[in-house]
Amino acid sequence: MTTKILEANGKPVYAIVPYDEYIALRELAEDAGDAATLLEFARRRGKTAEPTVPVEVADRLLAGVPPLRVWREFRGMTARELAGKVGVTPAHVSKIESGKGDPSLGLLRALAGVLAVDVDLLVGR
């Protein structure tokens, strides 16, 4: 690397490098920053085990499949099983999935708890 150091009052102030070397250094610094970001993500992921959304779930949600049905099926549950765990009838679960039911916030919280998702993920299409 070819570098020229400029000084002021006997102390280094600037380092001048050829432009192509500057570009190479900048790319290395960006790569190091990206690597640090990935390492931090891996560290946090290992500590908190933050869940991720499988692409199949995301695709179904984006396609407009009712969120409660998507998450219930992703968890491998029938409407009857889910209903039994939250204390409602399978018909009630079916109504909510079809958009005809109007669940209370308490029921949404119970459903979200059983399905291990945030309530926000069950609301809306």
Q: Grade residue 69 by pLDDT with cuts at 50, 70 and 90.
A: very high
Spell out the alpha helix ranges (H) of the chain: 19-48, 55-62, 67-74, 79-86, 90-98, 105-115
Q: Grade residue 1 by pLDDT with cuts at 50, 70 and 90.
A: confident
Tokens encoding 106: 């308490």
Instruction: Give the model's pLDDT for residue 124.
Output: 63
What does the mean pLDDT of the chain come to? Answer: 90
Own/partner contacts of 47-52, CB < 8 Å, gap of 24 or more, are: 51/116
Instruction: Give the model's pLDDT for residue 50.
Output: 59
- The angle, 0 to 180 degrees and rounded to 10, between the axes of the packed helices 67-74 and 55-62 is 160
Please check the confidence at residue 4 and state whether its pLDDT lies above 80: yes
Instruction: Give the model's pLDDT for residue 48.
Output: 62
Q: What is the pLDDT of residues 47-58, one digit of tens each?
A: 666 567 889 999
Please check the confidence at residue 120 and state whether its pLDDT lies above 60: yes
**pLDDT greater at residue 124 or residue 1:** 1
Distance CA 28, CA 1 (A): 14
Confidence (pTM) = 0.59
Please check the confidence at residue 10 and state whether its pLDDT lies above 70: yes
Q: Domain segments of the chain: what residues?
A: 4-48, 55-122
Matching residue, tokens 């969120």: 67
Pick the CATH number of 55-122 from 3.40.50.1110, 1.10.260.40, 3.30.70.141, 3.40.50.1370: 1.10.260.40
Please check the confidence at residue 102 and state whether its pLDDT lies above 90: no
7: β partners: 12
